[in-house]
Amino acid sequence: MRVAASLEEIVERGLCTGCGACASLLGPDVLRMDLSPEGFMRPRGQRPLDKAEQQTVLEVCAGHTQKGGAPVKAAPHRIFGAMLHLAKGHATDRDIRFKSATGGVLTALAVYLVESGEVDGILQVSVSGDNPLLNEARFNTTREQIVASSGSRYGPSAPLKDIVALLDSGRRFAFIGKPCDIATLRNLSRVDPRVELQIPYMLAMVCGGNPSIAATYNIVRRFGEDHRDVEELRYRGHGWPGPTYVRTRQGREHRQTYDETWFSNLTYELMFRCKICADGVGEHADVVAGDCWAMEGGKPSHREAGDGWNMHIARTERGRQLIEDAVVAGYLHEEPFSVTELEAMHDDHGTKKRSVLWRLAGLALTAQPFPDHGALRVVQAGLAASWRERWTAFRGTLARSLKRRNRESPITSGTYAPDTTTR
């Protein structure tokens, strides 16, 4: 295998996750995070990196390696990883449960951690204060702030762009983010012992991939609105899964269902890095939570179901204890949930995991770099794939690589410019 040899190669070959850790490590005089011309959050180089700076980035970047795993004690499931505790549940606070994307488990855990004094705050992603279509990282210290940041944000963000400054502050905090963000934090913990001491809880959501910001602008355009008129945008929540909702400054409101947004003819592009991701289920996290969909005809149903439910997994003893404490304290309600139910409900992650080995084979054949996925069982899962799954994954990635569709703009390029037309 060939891993990328530099930050420039990580970005230009489509391996960057956009977390922002590199910019935090090297500082704004070297790197700044911004939306790339493709609409992804990417480091923008202020000057060339020297050899030592490159090494600093490569030790931590999840586009280079994901070896820094969580300290687990359970034998891993082929697809879903180590599970010390598996259940379904929801926040006991009805407001949290209603506003959240699912059952509010991660929000309830965050509120418990702050109100119990376990941590000083929560580092998480929220809607930008400057533009309701964009995202920003926030350090929240109150229930009100945490609840205001609940709900899915299907767009680029850089949640770790200030991680070094937060560690320098000496504060103790929990982190909520995507699985790849937490993989980066685990990498950072291998070279900076403050991570383990000051970030005792790393919480993840099950992730299906991170689309370009173009998807968000396309949602607004499909409603016939100008993005400059938008006052509020929710991807989901306020119900389960909750409608995509847009309100303009002129008072116009638009809604559409989860399936109408993400399973219709909406034009959006996932990061190439997401297409070769071996961990959409947060194996590096202490706790991961995802939708606990109703099953209809053996398949998950996205119909509006009222009150949301999460399935949640504790990966570590620390995560298991956190869930137990939150249940005892009355922040969380949970019920039994089986591995068989998990496999059926989230089989899309099984399909994706089984495909990774064959996607990487397509990259290897065209001499393209790819991340070292460490102990994420890429080979084991890939050998369980059907011949159809193998060929489809290999052929698709080979074609994408030959057509250079995995490539992105250099880190010295400009930034994203949204289409100003409506339709």
What's the pLDDT score for residue 200?
A: 98
Nearest to 341 by CA among 302, 294, 387: 294
Q: pLDDT at position 421, please?
A: 61
pLDDT at 69: 66
Task: Please give the pLDDT value at position 267.
Answer: 65
The mean per-residue pLDDT over the stretch 204-210 comes to 95
Dump pLDDT digits (tens) for 307-360: 999 999 999 999 999 999 999 999 999 999 999 999 999 999 999 999 999 999
Express each pLDDT in 133-186 by its tens digit.
999 999 999 999 999 999 899 999 999 999 999 999 999 999 999 999 999 999
Confidence of residue 420 (pLDDT cuts 50, 70, 90): low
**If pLDDT is split at 50, 70 and 90, which confidence band does 35 have?**
very high
* pLDDT value at residue 296: 92
- Going by pLDDT thresholds of 50, 70 and 90, the confidence category of residue 422 is low
* pLDDT tens string 38-64: 999 999 999 999 999 999 999 999 999
Q: Output the pLDDT for position 310.
A: 98
Predicted local distance difference test score (pLDDT) of residue 68: 63
Mean pLDDT, the chain, rounded, equals 95
Over 80: is that where the pLDDT of 423 sits?
no
Structure confidence at residue 354 (pLDDT): 97
Strand partners for 88: 311, 335
Question: Measured in Å, how far apart are the chain's first and last C-alpha atoms?
Answer: 45
Say if residue 374's pLDDT is above 80. yes
pLDDT band for position 72 (cuts 50, 70, 90): confident
Tell me: pLDDT of 31 over 80.
yes
Percent of the chain exceeding pLDDT 90 equals 89
Contacts of 259 (CB under 8 A, 6+ apart): 302
| pLDDT the model gives residue 269 | 84
Please, how many CA atoms are within 13 Å of residue 414, restricted to the half-sphere of its CB? 4
